[in-house]
Chain A
Amino acid sequence: MNIQDNYLKNKKNIFFSQNKDVQNHREKLIDIFENDRFDKKNNESLKNINLKNFIDFKYKYLIPEETSVINNNQENSYSIVSVNGQCSSYKDDKIEITRILDEDYNDFSKNHTIEKNDHFVNLNSLFLNSGFKIVIKKNNNIKIKISNIITDDHLTIFQKNNYICEEGSSLNLIEEYENKNNSTSNILNVIKLDKNSQLNHFLIQDNSPNHNLIITSHSSCRKDSTYTQKVYNFSEGYVRNFHYSELIEANSEADLQGIFFLKDNNTSNNKTFVKHLAEDCKSNQVYKGILNDRSKATYFSNTHVDQVAQKTEGYQLSKGILLSDNASFFSKPELKIYADDVKCSHGSTIGPIDENAIFYLRSRGMSKIAATKILISSFINEELSSIDNEQMSEIIQKKLVRYLSKVK
């Protein structure tokens, strides 16, 4: 079924379909799809995927009977179960959670960046069927854990979430994606950090082979705020993590980290785009991948330093270990600098495991497989040992042990 028919057939289940502005926007998007008006050259959203599988899809969405459980068991600590991308509303004096359906569309859509050449963001805008907004109120220090559950096979979730950290607030957000069904989640997160706020965003991804997870996030940081994103991808299904960050006021910071563990025929696509739009801002990116069998990964990174963004620090680093001759990791870190007083660097190292190190360890009595595993663990040791949440550290370690048990 073509995109237009698919949309028209399911329109009644898609959010904001009655809104005229939305309709106009969606008609433009349909035109792009129908007439293949994409810029195909250097389009990172097309790498390593069969786009046809994602465009000619069968729309299926189930409104969950019970939307979510919000628990506030410990002080300042909340756990949320998001079902099929939906979450019921909740409010206290520290946080406010709202279903996007209950939001005013104009408020919800304000300042959303639409990537006109990103197919998945466009599909998300076209078929939006779930999502929520979380606001952390001024000067509160909050922990939230969200378990993202999908109830059935072959669901197509198109979800938009807004996260707003008000002035002086701090949010420690852990999101778990552990779905064993054959569904597709296409999620767009829009994250706003007000002055002097902080968001530590951890994403643990561990889906089954036929589950597709597409996450696109936009963060914007005002004065003295810091957005940290750490992604641990153990999924056996396709995962795309794209992040766009804007440092819009002075002394703000974006710290982005992604570690992926791939095997079989799996693919992981990663992209970051960091815009330094004010002085004294800092961005740091570290992406590391371990690839076995015939797995593939990409890392496209672009750090743009505006001419007003003096005293910028911008660092990009990607590293990969290829455990098989058939695995591939394509990395392209780029810097575009228009200011003259900056410290920036980029680097990329991808290759097989160091044979000299293997020989050294084996010469002390360690088996080849044990030496390989210890070197894989050491490759990501710095990132794993920097996890200051004990429970999360244990979860990641267990998943790492499971991944290593399959390394032969």
Chain B
Amino acid sequence: MFLEIKDLSVKIENKKILNELNLNINKGEVHAIMGPNGSGKSTLANVLAGKEDYEIINGKINFKDNDLFDLNIEERAQEGMFLAFQYPVEIPGVNITPFLHSAINSKKKRMNEAEIDNLSFAKLLKSKASDLGISIDMLKRSVNTGFSGGEKKRYEILQMSILNPDLAILDETDSGLDIDALKIVTDGVNKLKTKDNSFLIITHYQKLLDYIQPDHVHIMVNGSIVKSGGSEIAAEIEKDGFQKFQ
């Protein structure tokens, strides 16, 4: 199993957010989690990425034969986990190029692979940016600073394509995107998809799933997966909403 979440319960400030949650993802699979506001979707994404604000009450997570809780935030990233943020953080003064270069080399180092030199990295960045319609000028700017919502999401996908993760978690990447930006972003995701990596896509709406075909769709309510199945579930949600699961 690539990612195995077993009986995961999590709280923050005495409020239980995830409740005995179970989820298994195999290599090469695309999973989508849908759920109403406040169901715990983003908490799951943050817990997987290692955010330290949460208290794990119960449960286990295995990722690529590692106990995920033994790895800190950066070790999870270096092991191949990537979170595309719902609200990417603006970091004035930190340029994307050296930051991403340093990030990819920290991963290479952990994998005992040769680091990428400046020139090769610049070429890689330029080519990936071009695929996503990101101009060279934008690469000179600070991380997410002064970007529109759509630009921020494109930047997240650019980082994902550079870091080439084994498991990418997309936390409401479709929110705030117009239809053209949605196409660009989802094209970027589809290009990255191989038999060796997996995706966990968190969304409210079926629209995103029109562009990225999921293998499995899960409905999450009150911190638990209440129903799992194929794409037909997304269509059902689109038609009837989440009411009947609550």
Contacts and interface: CB of A to CB of B under 8 A. Distances in A.
A317 interface: no
A354 B99 CA distance: 17
Contacts of A367: 74, 106
Main secondary structure of the interface of A (DSSP, over half): helix
A364 B101 CA distance: 10
B142 A378 contact: yes
Interface in A364-387: 364-368, 370, 374-375, 377-382
Interface in B138-165: 142-143, 159, 163
- Size bin of chain B's contact surface: 20 to 34
Nearest to A370: B102
A38 interface: no
B93 A382 contact: yes
A362 interface: yes
A364 B96 CA distance: 12
Contacts of B51: 359
Interface in A339-378: 354, 356-357, 359-368, 370, 374-375, 377-378
A370 to B, nearest CB: 7
A354 B94 CA distance: 14
Contacts of B142: 378
Given A375-B94, A381-B93, A362 B88 contact: no
Nearest to A362: B73
Contacts of B83: 363
Nearest to A380: B93
B94 A378 contact: yes
A363 B50 contact: yes
Nearest to B100: A364
Contact of B102 (A360, A366, A375): A366
Nearest to A367: B74
Contact of B99 (A356, A364, A368, A379): A364
A365 B78 contact: yes
B77 A374 contact: no
Contacts, number: 78
Contact of B74 (A354, A362, A374, A377): A362
B91 interface: yes
Nearest to B80: A365
Contact of B94 (A359, A362, A365, A374): A374
B121 interface: no
Nearest to A364: B103
Given A359-B73, A374-B99, A365 B163 contact: yes
B49 A357 contact: no
B176 interface: no
B223 to A, nearest CB: 21
Interface in B51-82: 51-52, 72-74, 76-78, 82
A383 to B, nearest CB: 10
Contacts of B73: 359, 362-363, 368
B20 to A, nearest CB: 26
Contact of A364 (B93, B110, B163): B163
B107 A365 contact: yes
Query: Quick one: which of B72, B83, B94 has the most chain A CB within 10 A?
Result: B94
A363 B88 contact: no
B2 interface: no
A167 B105 CA distance: 55
Contact of A375 (B74, B88, B91, B107): B91
Interface of A: 354, 356-357, 359-368, 370, 374-375, 377-382
Given A359-B52, A362-B77, 8 more contacts: A357-B89, A363-B49, A364-B77, A365-B77, A377-B94, A378-B94, A378-B142, A382-B92
27 contacts: A359-B52, A359-B89, A360-B89, A360-B91, A361-B99, A362-B72, A362-B73, A362-B77, A363-B50, A363-B83, A364-B159, A364-B163, A365-B74, A365-B107, A365-B163, A368-B72, A368-B74, A374-B94, A374-B102, A375-B94, A377-B93, A377-B94, A378-B92, A378-B94, A378-B142, A380-B93, A381-B92
